[in-house]
Amino acid sequence: MPAAERPPVGLFSAVVIVASLGYFVDIYDLILFSIVRVKSLTALGVTDVKTEGEFLLQVQMGGMLLGGILWGVLGDKRGRLSVLFGSILLYSLANLANAFVHTMGQYAWLRLIAGVGLAGELGAGITLVSESLPRERRGMGTMLVATVGVSGAMLAFWVGEQFGWRSAYGVGGALGLALLVLRVSVFESGMFRRTQESTAARGNFLALFTNGPRLKRYLRCLLIGVPLWFVVGILITFAPEFGRALGLTGPVEAGRAVFWCYFGLVFGDFASGGLSQLLRSRKRALQVFLVLCTAVVLAYLFAMRGASPESFYRMCFVMGLAVGFWALFVTVAAEQFGTNLRATVATTAPNFARGSVVALVPAYRWAEAHLGGSLSGAAVLGLVTLAVAFWAVSTLPESFGKDLDYVE
């Protein structure tokens, strides 16, 4: 159907619902490894679970770095819908195959392939929703996408606990393949269609680096998302280690910490998106959440000594609430660039932020060894990432209500 003949897109239209469910499956599959890491590696006969687990996490995140570029460029060259179909097909098949691995080599290759596939979902979905909804409501649309999406982590935890790690991977793959059926009802963005008719170069990833002001804008967008992955990739993924360092009264399960953090993220993403609409400012909403996140990180590291595991899990929930600005971060990245580069930026920005775990893990290990232990090392690293993100937000142009129908 031609764009001019389509009815106005509403907040609960097919594009928003499908993008939300797609991100739900994306988060399910992305977080599942952190939840089943110990059980799956133990079942495969791995003795050094910590080292091999870190290696697989690095492999998965490395795949997301590669996939972010691949899907971002394709999203601007071939369309947002092509990425939504292609990425979910790739990571769904990879996760189905994960249910049948028997060696570390197989596991590593499949996490790499899954990482490449997982990289495309969020950026393409946020771009499509941002370009389809009226400018005054697009923040609410991306808020719904993130709020529904992050709850996929809770389903991953429940399925992993109830049915085992192999079944959890199988369920994730099956959910993704089932979602492909719903995507036939979604239309391509009208803004993208108009860009296809123009002479503007689309999906030129290198164009982000050949113009000074554009490069600075892009780098600032990337830096906003790093604190969230410091929290999820370090503080939550290694929750058992921090629990021991804090002298908790009992052991902490990584999967349960992930569950409570993402439960908090559901409310955090809803609150940050709602706050940006209320304040009519993306920047001020992000600044509020970065200040809140700083306070909660310090409380997690220094106010939980000798606490019970139950109190620690409650802190994980509060931590998730404080870093619940993920959708707002991706929305800002999409709003900062023209239609011919929007999918490239909206896809690479969150994946480079996720992929920052590749650098954050060795940085944390260095800080742990040289700055007085795991707690003080994590505090220094976390404060640096938060300060840099606050600076990045403060120096970006405000994008609330911005007309997105333009090219770079």
Q: Percentage helix, strand, coil, to 5, in the chain? A: 80, 0, 20
Distance, CA of 124 to CA of 13 (rounded, Å): 16
pLDDT value at residue 5: 41
177 or 50, which is more confident?
177
DSSP one-letter code for 120: S
CA-based nearest residue to 76, from 353, 342, 384: 342
Q: Could you identify the residue written with the tokens 């009264």?
A: 249
The four Cα atoms 271, 272, 276, 279 give a dihedral, to 10 degrees, of: 60
Distance, CA of 37 to CA of 49 (rounded, Å): 8
CA 400 to chain centre: 21
pLDDT tens per residue, range 210-263: 999 999 999 999 999 999 989 998 999 889 999 999 999 999 988 889 889 989
- H or E stretch covering 360: helix 357-370
First to last CA, the chain: 27
Average pLDDT over residues 109-127: 90
CA-based nearest residue to 153, from 260, 250, 55: 260
Report the half-sphere exposure of 230 (CA within 13 A, side-chain side): 29
CB neighbourhood size of 216 (10 A): 13
The alpha carbon dihedral of 214, 84, 67, 35 has a sign of: positive
CA-based nearest residue to 273, from 395, 109, 146, 360: 146
Distance, CA of 346 to CA of 353 (rounded, Å): 11
Distance, CA of 117 to CA of 28 (rounded, Å): 13
Q: Which residues lie closer than 8 Å to 58 by C-beta, 6 or more apart? A: 357, 358, 361
C-alpha pair distances (Å), 398 with each of 19, 56, 280: 25, 38, 10
Q: Could you identify the residue written with the tokens 């939980």?
A: 304
Query: Is the backbone of residue 373 left (phi > 0), alpha (psi -120 to 50) or beta?
Result: left
DSSP assignment of 213-257: HHHHHHHHHHHHTHHHHHIIIIIITTHHHHHHHTT-SS---HHHH
The four Cα atoms 213, 292, 316, 17 give a dihedral, to 10 degrees, of: -60
Instruction: Assess whether pLDDT exceeds 90 at residue 49.
Output: no
Which amino acid appears at position 153 of this protein? A
Check if CATH label 1.10.10.60 holds for domain 8-395.
no
Range name among 33-47, 93-107, 271-285, 387-401 with the lowest pLDDT average: 33-47
Total count of residues recorded for the chain: 408
Tokens of 97: 């195959």
Tokens of 13: 């239209």
pLDDT tens per residue, range 4-32: 444 456 677 778 888 888 889 888 988 88
Question: What Rg do the C-alpha atoms of the chain give, in angstroms?
Answer: 20
pLDDT value at residue 112: 94
Q: Which residues lie closer than 8 Å to 295 by C-beta, 6 or more apart? A: 322
pLDDT tens per residue, range 332-380: 998 999 999 999 999 999 888 887 887 898 999 999 999 989 999 999 9
pLDDT value at residue 1: 42
